[in-house]
Structure 1
């Protein structure tokens, strides 16, 4: 009995040490991510005099919203609106295609289902390359249009497989009972499958939105008109190429650059709280089931 108590005490002490080390390690990792974000926020509300001659600001010396006002009254808002259009419309197009396609592939009685899945997975392993990609987009007449940023990448194989796996885990008895009640496949998808798939749809919607919001390669490859550039392209130009992007020879300090970065993160930060409660559960179920 005494030995059992001693072993219990040792395990308890060991557990406490483990938790302490784990907490310190996680706190250190959090700091690695939090400090750069904090620097961006503090610098974005600092005055020009506080950022001259320094690249890293952790302690706020002043507070002003003038940088955001300058961004809102500059050419960056055009790029911001372009990014919002691409992100929202692209996500809508992708979900309209991906959800029904995932539902169809989840049906075991689908003719040629195995061949279709192998062809879809094949696209994750092999890429045709940049030149065939460009030729296809040009032949479709999408050059210098927003469609070139949306339609060629409308379907993500990864997202499609996640939705397919999740919908394949829905009990067949529910679908069969709906069929006996006179429901067709579209009604089954609308009234049964979609309400049961809110978690995975929320997670995939966030994946698509972030992917479209961060589009950069397709923009510089297919868009020739600078008025159609997205925020990511303009932000890179601001950060690495031009220091007089506002016109009039006005020098661009880090505070203005950080203000543009904060506005670039804002849509994702607004959307995530609404889908975060479905995000982890949907992703886990969609990745494991099937």
Structure 2
């Protein structure tokens, strides 16, 4: 019986290993395809079908064309401003809200949470949202991409749950030593909750980095466009011809084959470089406080 159990366990482990390898290949290959296509020669890519396991030639012409557009660097600057300032505001306000809601002494805490959770399922819609943002004077401003998204309800609940998992005895000891709420939050609660803070940074950061819809709605001045909206213009609104100047239609069509892959890499690589530094906190931070004992 023991040998049979061992054999079944080994078979199960082998199946899991094979399945995960296949899943890894299926997940990684599209990224690899985009990276290889972005440095391939455009004329050879136009006639290529099927798998791509190595570059078809090698050229950085697509990347040169992307960065020749002055809007790319401006878009990077706008996006970094939104990400950095937005992250500071996101983490600060989410932490303040989560700390208050995690205190058992807060009056009407359950009722307040009911109203907050309600916003996850119901909202006023896009038109009232637009007029609200415009009415407070944020239209055509980068602050329209930051302030309305200052707190995400799901992230607030996640951080609140993490704060609730910290023993009350720590807070009580701090209060006996004369600590007030700001000291408790910044010197006790947040240092013990760094995994969930890292997850909040990842969630909010990726959201800001990938955001283009709100920019398309609220921004009329092209100099304020974030990177994603600039890249959207390149791919969907004929910015290829604007970058190439006097290039022929055939040259533009040929270059666009690799250009679309280069724009994907340009938009994706920075956030991918940040993820490994936060990955070790991700699972622990996302699940912290999920199990009560």
Regarding TM over 0.5, the answer is yes
- Classify the secondary structure of the residue corresponding to 1:96: helix
Counterparts in 2 of 1:245 and 1:19: CA distance versus 1, 3 Å: farther
- TM-score, normalization by structure 2: 0.91
Structure 2 partner of 1:21: 15
Counterparts in 2 of 1:61 and 1:159: CA distance versus 1, 3 Å: same
Describe how 1:136-215 pairs up with structure 2 within 5 A. 136-215=132-211
Question: Are 2:76 and 1:73 equivalent residues in the alignment?
Answer: no
Question: Are 2:260 and 1:260 equivalent residues in the alignment?
Answer: no
Ranges in structure 1 where 5+ consecutive residues have no aligned partner: 1-6
Aligned residue pairs, count: 284
- TM-score, normalization by structure 1: 0.91
1:101 to 97, 100, 104: 97
1:116 to 112, 117, 137: 112
- Classify the secondary structure of the residue corresponding to 1:108: coil
* Higher mean displacement: 259-268 or 227-236: 227-236
| Pairwise CA distance, 1:67 | 3.0
| Pairwise CA distance, 1:167 | 0.5
Q: Distance in 1 between matches of 2:26 and 2:74?
A: 33
Structure 2 partner of 1:125: 121
Q: Distance in 2 between matches of 1:82 and 1:11?
A: 59
Q: Distance in 1 between matches of 2:155 and 2:209?
A: 16
Describe how 1:228-267 pairs up with structure 2 within 5 A. 228-242=224-238, 243-250=240-247, 251=252, 252-267=255-270
* Higher mean displacement: 187-196 or 243-252: 243-252
Does the Cα contact within 8 Å between 1:80 and 1:264 map onto a contact in 2? no
Ranges in structure 2 where 5+ consecutive residues have no aligned partner: none
Does the Cα contact within 8 Å between 1:200 and 1:286 map onto a contact in 2? no
